[in-house]
Amino acid sequence: MTIHLIAHSFDYIGKRTRYIPRLGWLGYHPSLLPRHRGRSAIEWAIKMHDAITGGTVFWLNAGIDRGDIAYQDWCFIPPEYYLNPKERATDLWRDELLPMGLKLFETAFKDILNGVIKRTPQDKRFSTFEPDTNVKDIYKPDLLMLEQFAGEST
């Protein structure tokens, strides 16, 4: 049984690569899909004064952020974040959405090991796709934080 994962990546996983793992790919997107598809989901949730946002673990397919939903969770966006969306997107990622994604992946893996595979199609009536805001890549340095978080949870 093989499965691959990708978390809030700005890379597209092509068809040949998507079919390598037997069960497929699970991805993590920092929004409540199908809302705020695209690279700058966190910043757009803040810019649009959404009261809540969240994270989605989903099954990758040929569309960008369009695969079936496996798991979701949510968090509040503090109103003071609306004043500086670009800077606060980083805070929201580090404080809420990154740890949320790790927990969602953990839940997904436990269920898969127990033979439970959840897939709920996204409701296209509520889908939005937001343009890239040219945010610099703030997420790659978080690999160190991921290692630290993983060490604390074991």
Domain ranges of the chain: 4-147
CA distance readout (Å), 94 to 76, 85, 149: 14, 14, 11
Scan for tokens 């969602």, then name that residue. 104
Using alpha carbons, select from 5, 46, 49, 62 the residue that is nearest to residue 29.
5
Instruction: Indicate the CATH number for domain 4-147.
Output: 3.40.50.170
This prediction has a pTM of 0.79
Q: Over the Cα atoms of the chain, what is R_g?
A: 15
Residue 4 confidence (pLDDT): 63
Q: What is the pLDDT along the chain (154 residues), one digit of tens a residue?
A: 677 666 766 666 666 766 665 777 899 999 999 999 998 999 999 999 999 999 999 998 887 889 999 999 999 999 999 999 988 999 999 999 999 999 999 999 999 999 999 999 999 999 999 888 875 554 444 445 445 545 554 4
CA distance readout (Å), 17 to 9, 25, 38, 85, 98: 15, 9, 20, 34, 25
Distance CA 112, CA 57 (A): 13
